[in-house]
Amino acid sequence: MSHPDKYKQQQRSDLRQSRCFTREQRLVESEQFKRVFECNDRVGDRYWTILYRDNTVDFARLGMAVAKKRVKRSVDRSRLKRLVRESFRHGELPCVDIVVMPRDGTAKASSLELQASLSKQWSRIAERCGR
């Protein structure tokens, strides 16, 4: 996908494969969040709790719930959100709505660790949905 024309073509045909992150790919309304919280599957490790649920559109959507209680400083909250977004953008996922929540102490971990952790979680979700 190094060739730009090829990239564009692919993006047009299938948002799933894209590396963009537009508004459509986010959970925006509280209804959407509620839907995921009410009924979901979950995966996780010591950094993250990730809820997911099949959605009605044909691409994955991401939402984040970063509680002030869990991550105290505003700088760290921003950092985690960026990390998650970036990772989500690069990861390949089935058509599910996802809500990512950090755990206590996640802010102390290095960016490399967190990225590794996240991509592992994405593939687990993909695997489960594939079955």
Partner RNA sequence: GGAGUAGGCCAGACAGUCGCUGUGUCAUCAGGCACAGAGGAAAGUCCGGGCUCCACAGGGCAGAGCGCCAGGUAACACCUGGGAGGUGCGAACCUACGGAAAGUGCAGCAGAGAGAAGACCGCCUAAGUCGAGGCAGUGUCCUCGGACACUACUGAGGCCGGUAAGGGUGAAAGGGUGCGGUAAGAGCGCACCGCGUCGGUGGUAACAUUCGGCGGCAAGGUAAACCCCGCUUGGAGCAAGAUCAAAUAGGGAAGCAUUGCCGUGGCCCACGGUGCUUCCGGGUAGAUCGCUAGAACUGCAUGGUGACAUGCUUUCCAGAUGAAUGACUGUCCACGACAGAACCCGGCUUACGGCCCACUCCCACU
Q: How far is the CB of 124 from RNA (least distance, A)?
A: 21
Q: Which of residues 61-90 bind RNA (CB under 7 A)?
A: 63-65, 73-75, 78-79, 81-83, 85-86, 89
CB 84 within 8 A of CB 100: yes
Tell me, what DSSP letter sits at residue 57? S
109 binds RNA (CB under 7 A): no
Spatial separation of the C-alpha atoms in residues 82 and 84, rounded to whole Å: 5
Q: How far is the CB of 54 from RNA (least distance, A)?
A: 19
- Sheet strand arrangement including 61-64: 41-44, 48-54, 96-102, 61-64
Q: Which residues contact 23 (CB under 8 A, 6 or more apart)?
A: none
Q: Which of residues 30-49 bind RNA (CB under 7 A)?
A: 30, 33
Candidate list 9, 17, 111, 123; residue touching RNA; CB under 7 A: 111
**Number of neighbouring beta carbons within 10 Å of residue 110:** 8
26/53 with CB nearer RNA: 26
Interacting residue ranges for RNA, rule: CB under 7 A: 4, 7-8, 12, 19-23, 26-30, 33, 63-65, 73-75, 78-79, 81-83, 85-86, 89, 99, 111-112
